Structure 1
Amino acid sequence: MEGPERREKLIAILEDRKGKSISGSEIARELGVSRQIIVQDIALLRAANKNIVSTTKGYLLHRQETGIVSRCFLVRHSTEQIEDELCTIVDHGGKILDVIVRHDIYGEIRTDLIISNREDVYAFVKRVNENQTVPLKELTDGTHLHTVEASNEYILDSIEEALRAKDYLV
């Protein structure tokens, strides 16, 4: 199968998942190629403005739904409060798209999270703990941004209020 045809099938696989992630290895098996080929195809598709997101669970095609609004929240908290902060956002109806830090030397560092519910929060926190990962926020003394999506501005206002009440909002 030629590259363009394979990339079309890759997009079709991601679309069929309806916002659920799939690992590069699974895609590679399905298309009969190596995982490295999939990584290269993903890079080419991103360069062609396909909004493919890498998450801790794999790849997904992110399409902002009509009527969805987003807002960036500048927050600061301890590492022990990560779970509470993320649960606060999802419990109020938000979807956490990413985490961003602005470092004096390295500039803006951003990574996709795609956290929609408590199950996602717990899986993320578990991975951080199991891998003894230092969260990005540690580069900036706990201060970081999250881009959050919701179905309306009222929900984003509610999230902002809740983060402020917990003294997470900067």
Structure 2
Amino acid sequence: MDAAQRRQAILELLKQSTQPVSAGTIANRFQVSRQVIVGDVALLRAGNSAISATPRGYILADGAMESNQLTRTIACRHSRENLAEELYTIVDNGCGLIDVIVEHAVYGQISGQLHIFSRYDADCFLEKLSKDHASPLCDLTGGVHLHTISCRSEEAYQRVLAALKEKGILFSK
């Protein structure tokens, strides 16, 4: 299999997957290094493939949410200590976190793909932050950030808002 065939096979793999697929998993499947896969994905993105990198791996952006889901943007503010509480509150009330967005003084808007739809996803994200000694994006802005969330219903969205407000995490004037 040459590089072009491998890249096409990577796209097919991602199209068939409903969950993120790690670069290591893809590398093992095609018997190449993880770095080769990272390069392949970069070339696919440069060719306008809608591949998002999440904390758990690659996913096609089109497959990130079911079409019957509502998407909303919420503003939050909390310390690092409340990060797990924020994530759990959103997923426990029937919504998922698509991304996180911060407004940086120099770089402007910075976003990171999350694709967190369960406590398991949240735990994987939190573990990766800890293991890699990484800082969440909200550390850049004193805890203020936006999330695009995906909700099964308007009622789930309202539950999330109420629960985050009660916990002092929802950012409002």
The TM-score with structure 2 as length reference comes to: 0.87
Does residue 120 of the first structure (1) align with residue 121 of the second (2)?
yes
Aligned-CA RMSD value: 1.8
Partner residue of 2:8? 8
Partner residue of 2:158? 157
Partner residue of 2:168? 167
Aligned length: 169
| CA displacement, residues 66-104 of structure 1 (integer Å, 9 cap, x when unaligned) | 212211111001111111111000001111111111011
Matched residue of 1:20: which SS? Answer: coil
- Deviation, 1:28, is 2.1
Matched residue of 2:19: which SS? Answer: coil
Gaps of 5+ in 2: none
Partner residue of 2:110? 109
| Separation (CA, whole Å) in 2 of partners of 1:94 and 1:37 | 35
After TM superposition, the structure 1 = structure 2 runs for residues 20-59 of structure 1, keeping only pairs within 5 Å, are 20-59=19-58
Q: What is the aligned-residue identity percentage?
A: 38
- Deviation, 1:119, is 1.4
| Separation (CA, whole Å) in 1 of partners of 2:24 and 2:127 | 22
Matched residue of 2:145: which SS? Answer: strand
- Deviation, 1:15, is 2.6
Q: State the one-letter code of the partner of 1:94.
A: C
| CA displacement, residues 89-127 of structure 1 (integer Å, 9 cap, x when unaligned) | 000111111111101112111111111111121222223
- Deviation, 1:3, is 3.7
Q: State the one-letter code of the partner of 1:115.
A: I
- Deviation, 1:46, is 2.3
| Separation (CA, whole Å) in 1 of partners of 2:124 and 2:26 | 22
Matched residue of 2:59: which SS? Answer: strand
| CA displacement, residues 9-63 of structure 1 (integer Å, 9 cap, x when unaligned) | 111212333x222221221232233333322221232234332221222212231
Partner residue of 2:92? 91
